[in-house]
Amino acid sequence: MDLSNDLRLENERLGKVTEENTDQNETLEEFIEKCAMRNYTLKDLPALLKAVNSSDVMQQYFGVIGIRRIVSKDENPPIQEIIDANVIPRMVGFTERYEEPQLQYEAAWALTNIASGTTSQTQSIIDKGGVTAFVRLLKHESSEISEQAIWALGNIGGDNAEFRDYILKSNVLAPLIEIVDKSGDEKVIKHGIWALSNLARGSPLPKFELVKSTIPIFSKVLQETDDLETLVDAAWAMVYLSDGKNDSKNRVDLVLETKICHGLVRHISMDQRLSALVPVLRILGNLLSGTEDQTSEVLSEVPDVVNKLVELATSHPNRTVVRESCWCLSNIAAGNPPQVQLVMKDHDQISRLMKITERSEPEIIKEVLWIFSNATAKASPIQMIRLVECYIIDLFCEYLKHDDPQNIEIALDGIINVLNMGAYLANQNKTENQFLIELENKGGVVIIDTLQTHPSIGIYNRALKILEDHFELDENL
C-alpha cells in the first residue's frame, strides 16, 4: 500500500496545504486549477511562504495563489506578515517571468491585494519595485494581465498624492491611455478610466503638466459612454482638469479642442442621475467661466445649452443641480450682449429665473443674484430696459435688506450698473434718469443711505459711490 499517496489524498480532502500535495501525473494546468479551488487559512501561511521561495514552478504557483487568496479575505488579511516575510521581491520577480504568464498574472493579483492595505503596506510594494513592474505589465499581450496592472496602479495612485505623483513620473499615462483608447471591452475601459481618474485628481491636485495628456481620453469617454460609473469617474477628473486659477484659459482651450460640449450636453437632462449630472454641470461651468470667445465657442457648439440650463435651474428638485445650473447661467450672463440675450431672452424667461429666489437655500439665492448682476454689467440699453420692466430693481432692493454681506454687495453692483445705464439713457434722451426714479420709488435710496454705516468696507464704498454719482448729497440727503 502507498501510504504517502493516501496521506496526500487525505490532506487534499481536508484542504491542508503541504509541499507534498503535487502529483507527478498532474499537468501544470490541472495543478493550478486545483490550487485555485482550495480553501486557505492563516495556518497555511508558513507553507505558502516556503512555497513562494521554492525553485519548483508548481510550488511557486501554489504559494502565490494561496497568498493571493488569503490576502483577499475581508477580515484581517495577513498582509503585514507577508511583507515581514520578505516575499514581495520574489513576487515582483515573478511578474517578469514571461515564459509563465499565469504566474505573472497570479503574482500581479497577489501584489494588488497586498497594495490595498495600509499606506505603509502600500509603500512596501513601491519600495520593492512594484510600480515599475505594474507599468511594465500594462504593455503585456495578455489583456487579463494588463487589466490587473491597471487595477493595481489605480489603487496605489488613489491612496495619496505622494504615491500618485510617483506613478505619474513613472511614464504610466501613455500606455494606460492607449489601452483605454483602443479597447472595445467596457470592463477594461471602466477600470482604465477609474485608474486615470485617480491619477488626475486628489489633494493637492497633481501638476497640470503631468496630467494634461489625459484630457482627450476623458473627453472621448464622456462623449461615448453610457456606463454610469465610467461617466462619473471621467466627469470628476475633467472637473479638475478644466479648472485652474492661473492657467484657466490654457486649460479651457485644451478641453474645447476635444469638442467635448456635445458629450456634456447629452448628459444634461431632468432624469440624469445626480452622480453624473453634478460633475457634468461643473465642467460646463468651468468652460463657460473662460473668456468671451471661449464662451462663444461653447454656445455655438451646443446652441440649446441655455434652454437646458434654464429648465434645470427652474424645475429640478435637487438644490445642488439648481445651484450649478445657475452658476453656468451667471457665467454666460457675464459675457457680451449677445450672450446676455440668450439668458435674458424675454420677459417670461427673466421671470422664471427670478422666481428661483423663492427657494430658501442661501447658496441658490446668491447664484441667482449673480445671474442678474452679471447681466446688468454688459446689457445693451434695450436689455436693461427689459430687465427693469421685469422688476430687477425690486429684486436688488429686496436683498439690500438681507444679512449676507456678499448678497448685499452683488445687489449694489447690479444697482450701480442699472443706474449708470439710466444716466446714459437720460443723457441721450435729455430726460431724467428713470431708473433712479424707480429706485427711489421702491425705497432703495433710503436703504442705500443706511448702508453707509455698514461694517463691511465693500458695502460702504459701493453705497457711497451710488450716492456720490447720482445725488447732490448736501441737498438731497
**pLDDT tens-digit readout, 418-431:** 999 999 999 999 99
Q: Which domains does the chain have, with CATH numbers?
A: 1-136 (1.25.10.10), 172-289 (1.25.10.10), 304-390 (1.25.10.10), 391-477 (1.25.10.10)
pLDDT, tens digit, 9 for 90 and up, residues 136-182: 999 999 999 999 999 999 999 999 999 999 999 999 999 999 999 99
Residue 216 scores a pLDDT above 60: yes
Overall average pLDDT of the 295-318 stretch:
96
Q: What is the DSSP string of 329-372?
A: HHHHHTS-HHHHHHHS-SHHHHHHHHHGGGS--HHHHHHHHHHH
The Cα–Cα gap between 81 and 198 comes to 28
CB-count burial class (<10 Å; 0-12, 13-18, 19+) for 422: buried
Residue 468 scores a pLDDT above 60: yes
pLDDT, position 247: 66
Residue 331 scores a pLDDT above 90: yes
Give the confidence band of 473 by pLDDT, cuts at 50, 70, 90.
low
165's grid cell: 505623483
pLDDT, tens digit, 9 for 90 and up, residues 246-305: 566 789 999 999 999 999 999 999 999 999 999 999 999 999 999 999 999 999 999 999
User: Which is it for the CA torsion 247, 253, 258, 264, positive or negative?
Assistant: positive
* Alpha-carbon 78 to chain mean position: 34
The Cα–Cα gap between 52 and 54 comes to 6
Give the confidence band of 21 by pLDDT, cuts at 50, 70, 90.
low
pLDDT, tens digit, 9 for 90 and up, residues 31-80: 999 999 999 988 999 999 999 999 999 999 999 999 999 998 767 899 99
276, 283 contact by CB (below 8 A):
no
Residue 14 scores a pLDDT above 60: no
Q: What are the C-alpha distances in Å from 117 to residues 46, 76, 77, 122, 212?
A: 20, 10, 9, 6, 30
Residue 13 scores a pLDDT above 80: no
Q: pLDDT above 90 covers what percent of the chain?
A: 87
pLDDT, position 5: 42
Query: What is the rounded average pLDDT for all residues in the chain?
Result: 92
385 or 12, greater pLDDT: 385
pLDDT, position 360: 78
pLDDT, tens digit, 9 for 90 and up, residues 375-400: 999 999 999 999 999 999 999 999 99
The alpha carbon torsion through 446, 449, 454, 456 (nearest 10 deg) reads 120
Give the confidence band of 450 by pLDDT, cuts at 50, 70, 90.
very high
pLDDT, position 56: 95
The Cα–Cα gap between 290 and 332 comes to 10
200, 214 contact by CB (below 8 A):
yes
Give the confidence band of 231 by pLDDT, cuts at 50, 70, 90.
very high
pLDDT, position 25: 74
The Cα–Cα gap between 477 and 470 comes to 11
- Helix %, strand %, coil % for the chain, to 5? 75, 0, 25
Q: pLDDT above 70 covers what percent of the chain?
A: 93
Helices first, then strands: H and E counts in the chain:
32, 0
